[in-house]
């Protein structure tokens, strides 16, 4: 009996050891690597560890130094950075090299090998690939490494893994609107750091619009002296009549020095900054500064509310002289191949009444104002092409004829991207249905003010950028996708991070990882580790993924019913309507129920028998209003 008992204890011990190993080996990398294997063994990084880089290679040295600085941020030590030629040996070290020599990994792929915990090597064909490998390596660290307030850690234990990984799409973008509300340089850098963490490679920087001109142009100082400032700002959605304004002057702009600083900062993180200079519409701020560029001559103002405005750039020659000089300075600041010129939401009212615009239609042999817009965009495209650049425009640039080499950014659904690809043009998908992160991500009743709509993280994760309507050949014109962050209702940096985190993590996996590896439940299980990272970094973020959405629906017999929704995979909702605390003995939601006389609805979410979050509650009225 004792022998059997001893054997049982031994087996139990082995199970516990394996459980411990499994717990240690939980890998939470986002975006999910293409191939990942977990081995036995632990790699221990401590004060004796070095970061060794293949030399001579200045780019790898910079990556190695940045990794050392990051590790030092939450540690009691900083790894030494050593060129391989001086290393003598590699033991208990991290080795960065560009000797992968495998074309299948392209310019962005990488391999990580930990050699059963003896050392870690990150190999790629390019420095960019090594950089992305480092981002994955950094996610193997516990969240405490991000905590600058706790630098007592003398070592870090990392799981022994083998990773082979590369990107699915070449264009992986995030957008930031600074015209409606602008943000400090340090926050823009932090935003870029978040993009780098999730392997995004483009930042679309929306710098001009009706509500403010945010880029210094030395040839036209009034653009920032006048166009960067609005007299006041609309409060809320403006549904009330009359509208309510805050009465406070708002504005600011980025100097050319600051812009260079941000562009250089992004480049070190392998992120290309694409500027957007809006034309021919969304030009109120520019027209307020230089009214002679409009059709009526003004007066114009920097707009204080949101929407589409009828005053746009006139097609007179003075306008093109102005725009070309503006673009000359933009090109000096931004080395990106692409320049975004907007091209969206351009009412034709002023052009129809303008003698000079009508004369332009006649002299150029155009059919109407839509073709005039196409002519306008094509003229700008030729200018940029002559300077070695290409244009991106919102999908309205398809109207009246697409410029020859233009790339379309499809935002009004996916039709624009489909049309562009079928015409042989490149397209970037950014439909409002899935990629607008200024939309609500949870129940509007308890979420911060947002633009509108409803785009929960599960919907972002479910997005597929390649439309079914395209052939395999046409699909190659879909360069990737982008999430847009418009800031009408986002005033502070913490508002931005709340709206993008963790939804930008979801889109990063859509854009980087193979389709076959995407799994919502698996992604959800990896999210808590990222919440811990955000917390350690002191960044505001959303937990709306665990929120219960409450909505009123009207049944066929006109009875108002209550419907409850959760994104949590295998999530179960238990609720009470009498004020008592809900648990697994309470009513379980499985279908909409009659509203009746409910004052307070209390709900508790469970998953796999465990509570998810705290009790949630809503004050419910019998009214049919939502």
Q: Which residues are catalytic?
A: 209, 282, 345
CA distances to 29, 308, 332 from 283, in Å: 42, 10, 22
Q: Which residues contact 267 (CB under 8 A, 6 or more apart)?
A: none
DSSP 245: B
259 contacts 336 by C-beta, under 8 angstroms:
no
3-state SS string for 218-232: CCCCHHHHCCCEECC
51 contacts 137 by C-beta, under 8 angstroms:
no
- Give per-residue burial for 210-238: e unless 16+ CB within 10 Å, then b: bbbbbbbbeebeebbebbbbbeebbeeee
3-state SS string for 340-365: EEECCCCCCHHHHHCHHHHHHHHHCC
Residue with tokens 């139990």: 12
Q: Tell me the H-state helices in 334-453.
A: 349-353, 355-363, 369-386, 415-422, 432-435
Pairing of strands 407-410, 390-394: parallel
**CB-neighbour burial class of residue 86 (10 A; exposed 0-12, middle 13-18, buried 19+):** exposed
Q: Which residues contact 351 (CB under 8 A, 6 or more apart)?
A: 295, 312, 314, 315, 357, 358, 369, 372
Helix pair angle (185-197, 493-500), 10° resolution: 10
Q: Which long-range contacts (CB under 8 A, 24 or more apart) does 72-75 make?
A: 73/145, 73/146, 73/148, 73/151, 74/144, 74/145, 74/146, 74/147, 74/148, 74/150, 74/151, 74/153, 74/536, 75/145, 75/151, 75/153, 75/154, 75/156
Q: Which long-range contacts (CB under 8 A, 24 or more apart) does 394-398 make?
A: 394/342, 394/343, 394/344, 394/345, 395/344, 395/419, 395/420, 396/343, 396/344, 396/345, 396/346, 397/343, 397/373
């Amino acid at each position: 009996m004792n022998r059997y008992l001893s054997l049982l204890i031994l087996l139990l011990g082995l199970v516990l050891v394996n459980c411990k190993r499994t717990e240690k080996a939980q890998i939470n990398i986002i975006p999910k690597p293409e191939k990942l294997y977990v081995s036995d063994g632990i790699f221990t990084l401590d004060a004796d560890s070095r970061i060794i880089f293949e030399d001579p290679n200045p780019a790898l040295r910079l990556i190695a130094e940045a990794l050392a600085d990051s590790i030092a941020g939450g540690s009691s030590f900083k790894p030494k950075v050593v060129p391989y030629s001086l290393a003598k040996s590699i033991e208990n070290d991290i080795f960065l090299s560009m000797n992968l020599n495998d074309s299948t990994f392209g310019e962005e792929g990488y391999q990580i090998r930990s050699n059963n915990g003896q050392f870690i090597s990150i190999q790629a064909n390019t420095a960019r690939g090594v950089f992305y490998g480092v981002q994955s390596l950094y996610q193997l660290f516990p969240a405490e490494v991000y905590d600058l307030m706790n630098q007592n850690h003398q070592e870090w234990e990392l799981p022994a893994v083998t990773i082979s990984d590369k990107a699915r799409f070449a264009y992986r973008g995030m957008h930031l609107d600074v015209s409606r509300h602008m943000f400090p340089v340090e926050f823009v850098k932090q935003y870029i750091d978040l993009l780098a963490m999730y392997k995004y490679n483009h930042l679309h920087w929306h710098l001009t619009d009706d509500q403010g001109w945010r880029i210094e142009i030395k040839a036209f100082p009034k653009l920032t002296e006048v166009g960067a400032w609005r007299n006041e700002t609309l409060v809320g959605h403006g549904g009330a009549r009359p509208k309510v304004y805050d009465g406070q002057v708002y504005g600011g702009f980025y100097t050319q020095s600051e812009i260079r600083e941000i562009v250089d900062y992004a480049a070190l993180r392998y992120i290309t900054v694409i500027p957007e200079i809006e034309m021919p519409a969304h030009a109120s701020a520019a027209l307020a500064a230089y009214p002679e560029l409009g059709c009526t001559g003004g007066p114009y103002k920097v707009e204080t509310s949101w929407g589409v405005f009828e005053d746009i750039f006139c097609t007179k020659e003075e306008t093109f002289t102005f725009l070309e000089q503006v673009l000359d300075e933009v090109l000096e600041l931004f080395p990106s191949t692409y320049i975004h010129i907007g091209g969206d939401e351009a009412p034709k009212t002023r052009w129809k009444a303008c003698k000079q615009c009508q004369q332009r239609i006649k002299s150029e042999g155009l059919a109407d104002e839509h073709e005039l817009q196409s002519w306008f965009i094509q003229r700008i495209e030729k200018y940029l092409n002559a300077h070695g650049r290409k244009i991106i425009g919102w999908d309205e640039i398809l109207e009246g004829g697409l410029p020859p080499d233009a790339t379309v950014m499809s935002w009004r659904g996916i039709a624009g991207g489909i049309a562009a690809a079928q015409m042989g043009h490149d397209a970037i998908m950014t439909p409002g249905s899935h990629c607008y992160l200024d939309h609500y991500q949870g129940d509007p009743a308890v979420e911060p003010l947002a633009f509108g709509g409803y785009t929960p993280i599960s919907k972002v994760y479910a997005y597929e950028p390649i439309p079914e309507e395209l052939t395999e050949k046409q699909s190659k014109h879909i360069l990737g996708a982008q999430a847009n962050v418009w800031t009408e209702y986002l005033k502070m940096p913490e508002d931005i991070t709340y709206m993008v985190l963790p939804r930008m993590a979801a889109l990063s996996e859509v854009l980087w990882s193979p389709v076959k590896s995407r799994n919502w439940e698996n992604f959800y299980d990896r999210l808590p580790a990222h919440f811990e990272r955000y917390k350690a970094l002191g960044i505001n973020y959303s937990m709306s993924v665990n929120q219960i959405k409450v909505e009123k629906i009207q049944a066929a017999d006109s009875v108002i019913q209550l419907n409850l929704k959760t994104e949590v995979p295998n999530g179960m909702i238990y609720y009470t309507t009498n004020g008592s605390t809900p648990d697994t003995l309470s009513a379980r939601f499985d279908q909409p129920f009659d509203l009746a006389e409910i004052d307070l609805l209390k709900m508790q979410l469970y998953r796999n028998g465990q509570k998810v979050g705290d009790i949630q509650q809503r004050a419910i009225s019998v009214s049919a209003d939502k």
